[in-house]
């Protein structure tokens, strides 16, 4: 603390009175140098194009739902002596690999895998048609979206041409961060590093923890799929963030990444001034690991509704209804139980509950501490899957079974959860498209059995269906009608 006070007092003095630089100030400066030197090679500059004009040039690859964006190099077309000047200008603008090109938008990312995986924010690359990444070494590559998730506002990019010597940043313990901690941030504000890849540095303190950014006007932000940041997860910094900062890194004094920068308007698709960052706590680290594998993030679902209560005077959340067949019922939770902690983290209100359950992810176990007339209890629940936000990209998805993909029945809106798995997607013109269809408009189909065996999870469904790749027998029902008469057996293909 004495060194910090010395630095603050000394830097506020007029230049004429500086004299010899105090040793404490030099020590702090050396610490900043060490942090920056260690982290800078792992911080990337990201250029993004959202133009639809790439399709005008044959051989370029158009974007698709899997995140494959493709590359674009203008040299071949520019070599044509008969090419009109306006087409040459367009080519130069579309080629993000050229340092003189001005992208539609830009941001920052950090290396998380030496094979060429870059972590950034989802809103930086949302609706991108091309993405180009340049490292501080000056090397660069076009990139695909390996995986992305709107709720976490995170995306992992994969370099199309891996760069040697990439070193992932070490993650620190964001859970241990405290208000007033000194931090260093690296980012490409105002696209400053796109020519040479060199990010800009700043330093300051953590102003606060568990902050919510200003409200959003996006409809999904007011539903169960609202961004995790709106549950009060964010770090607040003492400095504003300029365009290009999103995806930059916040470092502790050991040079470890503890947060990812995001401007306040990131939730609505663009940068503005505002000092907020996503903490790289165990919730975010768990989500990042899923994205690194190229998979879709499947948020956890407990299967309860809550009673109305005054959270200010009654900490914890009290269960109103436990859905039959849900993870909550299997764990032994009852109406009127009050949940006070999940995995030893306190539950003060419903936002705490939804955050700790959702970010624990589907298929994982959570320890739930309750209070009730029976006393203090502890149960373990294996979480089901919450409904899909519809705003995600995954390069690795389960192979469809004759055109059919499924998900947990917990994604259904009805209170009684039927045994089985819900049909999530039927590919057009597939065998499933011809034989599996709801008998009622807007009804959901549940697969109760595969080859005569009851399946309760997607994992069980795909495992049973893989036994015979030539054929499969499905017992299906309409989700809103579980009577025996509604059941039908379908053989695919």
- pLDDT cut 90: percent of the chain above it: 37
Q: Which CATH class is domain 398-492?
A: mainly beta
Judged by average pLDDT, the poorest of 31-35, 153-157, 236-240, 348-352 is: 236-240
Query: Per residue in 264-295, pLDDT tens?
Result: 443 444 444 458 899 999 999 999 999 999 99
From the options 3.40.50.2000, 2.40.10.10, 3.20.20.70, 2.120.10.30, give the CATH code of 42-159: 2.40.10.10
Instruction: Reply yes or no on whether the pLDDT at 442 is more than 80.
Output: no
Average pLDDT over residues 145-160: 94
Distance CA 152, CA 122 (A): 8
Average pLDDT in the 116-126 region?
Answer: 94
Is 343 in a helix, a strand, or coil? coil
Taking 50 as the threshold, does the pLDDT of residue 15 lie above it? Answer: no
What pLDDT does 18 receive? 54
Q: Does domain 168-289 have CATH number 3.40.47.10?
A: no
pLDDT of the residue at 363:
86
Q: How far apart are CA 342 and CA 354, in angstroms?
A: 10
Any idea which of 425-434, 437-446, 479-488 has the lowest mean pLDDT?
Answer: 479-488
Q: When comparing pLDDT for 150 and 229, which is higher?
A: 150
Asked whether residue 3 carries a pLDDT value surpassing 70, the answer given is no
pLDDT (average), residues 400-405: 89
Tell me the per-residue pLDDT of 310-350, one tens digit each, with 9 for 90 and over.
666 777 899 999 988 788 999 999 999 999 999 999 998 88
Q: How confident is the model at residue 112, as a pLDDT?
A: 97
What is the reported pLDDT for 8? Answer: 53
Phi, psi (rounded to 5 degrees) for 440: -120, 145
Q: Residue 269: what pLDDT?
A: 41
Residue 16 has pLDDT above 60, yes or no: no
For the full predicted model, state whether its pTM sits above 0.85: no
Half-sphere CA count of 282, side-chain side, radius 13 A: 8
Q: Is residue 2 over pLDDT 50?
A: no
Whether 482 has a pLDDT exceeding 70, the answer reads no
C-alpha distances out from residue 465 to 298, 418, 430, 476, 479, Å: 21, 20, 16, 14, 21
Mean pLDDT, rounded, of the chain = 83
Which sequence spans correspond to the domains of the chain? Answer: 42-159, 168-289, 300-385, 398-492
Q: Residue 244: left (phi > 0), alpha (psi -120 to 50), or beta?
A: left
pLDDT for the residue 417:
64
CATH class of 300-385: mainly beta
Gap between the Cα atoms of 226 and 218, Å rounded:
9
Is the pLDDT assigned to residue 20 strictly greater than 60? Answer: yes
Lowest mean pLDDT among 9-18, 185-194, 320-329, 398-407: 9-18
The pLDDT of residue 424 = 84
Give Cβ neighbours of residue 296 (< 8 Å, ≥ 6 apart). 147, 149, 290, 388, 392, 394, 397
Q: Is the peptide bond before 493 cis (omega within 30 degrees of 0)?
A: yes
Distance CA 95, CA 83 (A): 16
pLDDT of residue 281: 92
Give 32-80 pLDDT, tens digit per residue.
Answer: 899 999 999 999 999 999 998 888 776 544 444 468 898 888 887 888 8
* More confident position, 226 or 354: 354
For the CA atoms of 317, 388, 218, 291, the dihedral, rounded to the nearest 10 degrees, stands at: 100
- In this predicted structure, what is the pLDDT of residue 219? 32
What pLDDT was estimated at residue 274?
Answer: 52
User: Given this chain, do its domains 42-159 and 398-492 carry the same CATH topology?
Assistant: no
């Amino acid at each position: 603390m004495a060194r910090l006070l010395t630095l603050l007092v000394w830097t506020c003095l007029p230049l004429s009175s500086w004299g010899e630089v105090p040793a404490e100030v030099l020590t702090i400066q050396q610490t900043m140098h060490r942090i920056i030197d260690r982290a800078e090679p792992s911080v990337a500059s990201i250029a993004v194009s959202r133009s639809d004009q790439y399709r005008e040039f044959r051989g370029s690859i158009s974007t698709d739902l899997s995140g494959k964006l493709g590359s674009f190099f203008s040299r071949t077309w520019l070599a044509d002596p008969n090419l009109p000047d306006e087409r040459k200008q367009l080519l130069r603008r579309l080629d993000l690999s050229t340092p003189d090109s001005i992208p539609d938008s830009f941001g920052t990312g950090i290396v998380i895998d030496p094979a060429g995986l870059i972590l950034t924010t989802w809103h930086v690359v949302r609706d991108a048609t091309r993405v180009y990444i340049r490292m501080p070494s000056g090397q660069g590559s076009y990139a695909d979206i390996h995986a992305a998730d709107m709720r976490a506002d995170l995306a992992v990019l994969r370099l199309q041409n891996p760069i040697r010597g990439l070193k992932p940043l070490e993650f620190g313990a964001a859970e241990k961060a405290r208000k007033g901690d000194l931090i260093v941030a690296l980012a490409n504000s105002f696209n400053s590093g796109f020519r040479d890849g060199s990010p800009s540095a700043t330093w300051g303190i953590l102003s606060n923890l568990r902050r919510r950014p200003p409200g959003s006007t996006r409809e999904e932000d007011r539903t169960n799929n609202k961004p995790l940041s709106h549950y009060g997860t964010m770090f607040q910094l003492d400095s504003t963030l300029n365009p290009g900062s999103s995806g930059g890194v916040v470092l502790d004094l050991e040079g470890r990444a503890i947060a990812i920068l995001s401007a306040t308007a990131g939730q609505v698709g663009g940068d503005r001034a505002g000092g907020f960052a996503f903490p790289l706590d165990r919730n975010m680290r768990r989500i990042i690991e899923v994205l690194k594998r190229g998979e879709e993030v499947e948020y956890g679902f407990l299967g309860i509704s809550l009673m109305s209560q005054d959270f200010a005077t009654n900490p914890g959340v009290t269960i109103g209804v436990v859905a039959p067949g849900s993870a909550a019922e299997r764990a032994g939770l009852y109406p009127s139980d009050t949940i006070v902690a999940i995995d030893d983290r306190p539950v003060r209100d419903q936002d705490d509950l939804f955050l700790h359950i959702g970010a624990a992810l589907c298929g994982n176990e959570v320890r739930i501490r309750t209070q009730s007339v029976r006393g203090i209890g502890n149960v373990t629940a294996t979480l089901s899957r919450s409904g899909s936000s519809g705003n995600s990209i995954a390069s690795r998805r389960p192979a469809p079974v004759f055109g059919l993909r499924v998900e947990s029945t917990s994604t259904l809106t009805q209170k009684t959860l039927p045994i089985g798995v819900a049909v999530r997607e039927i590919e057009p013109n597939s065998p499933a498209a011809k034989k599996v269809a709801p008998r009622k408009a807007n009804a959901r189909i549940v697969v109760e059995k595969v080859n005569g065996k009851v399946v309760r999870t997607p994992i069980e469904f795909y495992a049973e269906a893989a036994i015979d790749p030539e054929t499969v027998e499905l017992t299906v029902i309409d989700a809103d009608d579980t009577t025996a008469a509604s059941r039908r057996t379908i053989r695919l293909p």
